[in-house]
Structure 1
Amino acid sequence: MDKALAFLQVQDKPGIIEIELLADSTVGDVLDAMAKHGVTVDADALLFVNEDEDGHELDDHKKTVKGIKRGCRLHLSRCRKIAVSVNFLERTIDHKFAPGARVRKVKAWAVDKLKLDPKDAGEHVLRLCGTDREPATDTPLHELTNGRECSVCFDLVPVKRVEG
């Protein structure tokens, strides 16, 4: 069986690591591939495949990891879910997402929940609370946590316009 290139993102570590896995790889196979790239795994870490998968416990090395295919994204995180708060005007809404969920998914959820007009929504971005940082829409949520807390706070704010 051919190996598939997968992309690994690890909580608290920036960047993407390319690893090769078989479609029927076990937890042990994934851990071995990570170890070859110097990734160590905490006892409380979970492995997520793509954005919305349930996390795989890493204690049963013989268990097959479902969802592995060419181009898939693996997320290694200590958070089973990430609690997200979005502030917009005087409202705050909350929801829990998988660690691999992207910022664009949070924005789509917030726009729907807040019942924003699509035109208005297109003129707003998510900004991390208390900062001027606006993460890219393809950023997974676990990259935005501090490693100790499984939560992220956003403000839904108008896009800065430069006129001139």
Structure 2
Amino acid sequence: MTTIVFIQVYEREGLIEAELPQDATHEHLHSVIAALGIELDGDTFIFIDEEEEPLVHKHHEPLPPIKRGCRIHVSRCRKIKVTVHYLENSEERTFAPGARVKKVKAWAVETFKLNHHDAAEHVLQLCNSTDRPATDTPLRELTKAPVCSVCFDLVPEKRVEG
């Protein structure tokens, strides 16, 4: 039996569907990635979903449990430095490339001590733009190596003028 996974690769759009054996090893995963024409080297990291640390290649050892439909991120960034601005305050933290925008927002809400009502009315917007990435967007999609950072403004979702 096989497990369907989705591979997301640096500097490529979209998801690549792949199959891994039920008891996949590190070698299986590396073979699947290589078969897709993705070169793995010392500057490439593989993350399972939102895991904080990349996989360490252990040849024939089994992979950690992989759920059907999980995302495997192939990234040139080991960590992504995130800056969030809210009013006159700014905070920074690093996240894994697979961390999603909703995780950053949850951290920002806690860091800036927004109450539940205010948190619900605010969204993350990329700095110096009007782009508001969907909450399920992995941070990896918002960066281009060698720049492993992203900047957000925490802004009201809608402004009511009157």
Please name the residue that 2:20 is paired with.
Answer: 21
Please name the residue that 2:5 is paired with.
Answer: 6
Q: 120-129 or 154-163, which moves further after superposition?
A: 154-163
The alpha-carbon deviation at position 118 of structure 1 amounts to 1.2
The alpha-carbon deviation at position 53 of structure 1 amounts to 4.1
| 3-state SS of 2:92 partner | strand
Given residue 19 of structure 1, which amino acid in structure 2 is its aligned partner? A
What is the RMSD of the two structures over their aligned residues, measured on CA atoms? Answer: 1.8
Q: Contact 2:52–2:95 (CA<8 Å) still a contact in 1?
A: no
Please name the residue that 1:37 is paired with.
Answer: 36
Q: 114-123 or 33-42, which moves further after superposition?
A: 33-42
After TM superposition, the structure 1 = structure 2 runs for residues 1-164 of structure 1, keeping only pairs within 5 Å, are: 2-58=1-57, 60-160=58-158
| 3-state SS of 2:65 partner | coil
| 3-state SS of 2:117 partner | helix
The alpha-carbon deviation at position 40 of structure 1 amounts to 2.7
Q: What are structure 1's unaligned runs of at least 5 residues?
A: none
The alpha-carbon deviation at position 98 of structure 1 amounts to 0.8
- Deviation sequence 1:9-63 (CA, Å, 0-9, x none): 11221101111002432222112212333333243111111112420134x4334
| 3-state SS of 2:125 partner | strand
How does the TM-score come out when normalised to structure 1? 0.90
Given residue 16 of structure 2, which amino acid in structure 1 is its aligned partner? I
Q: 30-39 or 41-50, which moves further after superposition?
A: 30-39
| 3-state SS of 1:56 partner | coil
Given residue 145 of structure 1, which amino acid in structure 2 is its aligned partner? T
The alpha-carbon deviation at position 160 of structure 1 amounts to 3.2
| 3-state SS of 2:98 partner | coil
Once residues 124 and 23 of structure 1 are traced to their aligned partners in structure 2, the CA distance between those partners, rounded to angstroms, is 41
Once residues 115 and 70 of structure 2 are traced to their aligned partners in structure 1, the CA distance between those partners, rounded to angstroms, is 33
- Deviation sequence 1:107-133 (CA, Å, 0-9, x none): 011001111011111111101111111
- Identity percentage over the alignment? 51
Given residue 95 of structure 1, which amino acid in structure 2 is its aligned partner? R
The alpha-carbon deviation at position 161 of structure 1 amounts to 5.1
Q: How many residues align?
A: 161
